[in-house]
């Protein structure tokens, strides 16, 4: 059998990505936007922060996606009494052998769902974020590298804030994107009700991609080209949050305390490449950048108290920036 060409391999992987959406859709209804963002994170090594009220199938989506991608999945419920050792693991004493052994924690998986991350103390949040950044954990005196791919999907409940420990801005910045999950429309909710009320519904899915495919797709996304014009456009968008007056954003400048960090420009570049790849292109369009701009920028833009008092949110300012910042030819 003749070996397929590089172009044929890319086309095959792009087709398989579409199959992932179809396969997950056998179980999860109406969450293609969330699945899209989770795949962007997986293929570009970027962790995702999900925000939405309970019952929007966040856990079900991640669990189903792990099955379709043949990856190990762990869900960790963050609570006020959770300890770092409950996350990364600890040393336990073996009485028979008379020595200490390492007991690895749930962090040793490919997909981690950190449910309600803001319910745990800062020490636990820091342990998770260290693993996200370094891709390794230390137990006792031994350092263990985490299996690849490694993706953390953390959730926050925007409604209940009592008894929570909000993530500091510097930690939120480590998430590539913050994705807001909304309620389904009537037709999708009707389908969900029918499926989940049917006790014979099993939710079986088939594996579409394996680890080798995932690593290949990462390389293929990395080779997606982005013009110098669009690279500069990304920088202009980022600098508009830092120096709004230079971009004619007088009203918005009054509400911005700190602009976005350099991680924003990196994440915008990578996410736009992933969008282009999903759309079966080997080059980035301006629309690709705009499509992910809110998810990448909004949680990194820090507003002041005046914005809160006037009911202004980051997404509104991002909207204005996208309208006013032009692409230089």
Q: In this predicted model, what pLDDT tens digit does every residue of 296-323 receive, in sequence order?
A: 999 999 999 999 999 999 999 999 999 9
Continuous H helices in 198-313:
211-222, 228-242, 250-253, 262-278, 286-297, 305-309
| Cβ neighbours of 197 (radius 10 Å) | 8
Which residues, 6 or more positions from 256, have their beta carbon under 8 angstroms from its beta carbon?
A: 241, 244, 301, 302, 303, 304, 307, 317
Question: What is the third-level CATH fold of 225-324?
Answer: Helicase, Ruva Protein; domain 3 (1.10.8)
Sheet holding 177-180, edge to edge: 73-77, 111-115, 151-156, 48-51, 177-180
| Contact assessment for residue 11 and residue 4, using Cβ atoms and an 8 Å cutoff | no
For the entire predicted model, the pTM comes to 0.90
φ, ψ dihedrals at 269, nearest 5°: -60, -50
Domain spans of the chain, in order of start:
6-213, 225-324
Per-residue model confidence (pLDDT) at position 1: 44
DSSP state of 304: -
Angstrom distances, CA of residue 242 to CA of 93, 178, 236, 297 = 53, 20, 10, 12
* Range 185-208 average pLDDT: 85
Q: In this predicted model, what pLDDT tens digit does every residue of 213-225 receive, in sequence order?
A: 999 999 999 999 9
The CA distance from 16 to 10, in Å, is 10
Give the Cα-Cα-Cα angle 294, 36, 172 (nearest 5 degrees). Answer: 45
Q: In this predicted model, what pLDDT tens digit does every residue of 63-84 receive, in sequence order?
A: 899 999 999 999 999 888 888 8
Quote the radius of gyration of the chain (alpha carbons, Å): 21
Per-residue model confidence (pLDDT) at position 221: 96
Per-residue model confidence (pLDDT) at position 318: 96
* Range 146-173 average pLDDT: 79
Note the CATH number of domain 6-213. 3.40.50.300
């Amino acid at each position: 059998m003749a070996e397929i060409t590089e172009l044929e391999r890319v086309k095959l992987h792009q087709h398989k990505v579409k199959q992932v959406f179809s396969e997950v859709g056998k179980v999860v209804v109406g969450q293609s936007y969330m699945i899209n963002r989770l795949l962007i994170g997986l293929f570009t090594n970027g962790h995702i922060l999900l925000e939405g009220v309970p019952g929007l199938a966040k856990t079900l989506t991640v669990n189903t996606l792990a099955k379709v991608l043949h990856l190990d999945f762990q869900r960790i419920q963050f609570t006020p009494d959770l300890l770092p050792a409950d996350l990364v693991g600890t040393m336990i004493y073996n009485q028979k052998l008379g020595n200490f052994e390492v007991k690895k924690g749930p962090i040793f998986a490919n997909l981690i769902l950190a449910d309600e991350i803001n319910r745990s103390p800062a020490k636990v949040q820091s342990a998770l974020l260290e693993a996200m950044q370094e891709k390794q954990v230390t137990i006792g005196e031994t350092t263990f590298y985490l299996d690849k791919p490694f993706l953390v999907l953390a959730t926050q409940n925007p409604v209940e804030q009592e008894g929570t420990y909000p993530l500091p801005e510097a930690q939120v910045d480590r998430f590539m994107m913050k994705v807001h999950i909304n309620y389904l429309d009537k037709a999708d909710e009707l389908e969900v009700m029918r499926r989940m009320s049917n006790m014979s519904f099993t939710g079986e899915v088939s594996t579409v991609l394996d680890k080798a495919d995932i690593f290949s797709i990462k390389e293929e996304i990395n080779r997606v080209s982005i013009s110098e014009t669009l690279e500069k456009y990304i920088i202009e968008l980022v600098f508009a949050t830092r120096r709004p007056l230079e971009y004619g954003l007088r009203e918005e400048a009054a509400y911005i305390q700190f602009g976005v960090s350099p991680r924003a420009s990196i994440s915008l570049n990578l996410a736009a490449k992933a969008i282009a790849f999903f759309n079966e292109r080997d080059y980035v369009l301006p629309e690709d950048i705009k499509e992910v701009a809110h998810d990448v920028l909004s949680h990194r833009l820090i507003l002041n108290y005046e914005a809160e008092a006037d009911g202004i949110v980051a997404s509104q300012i991002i909207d204005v920036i996208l309208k006013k910042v032009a692409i230089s030819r």
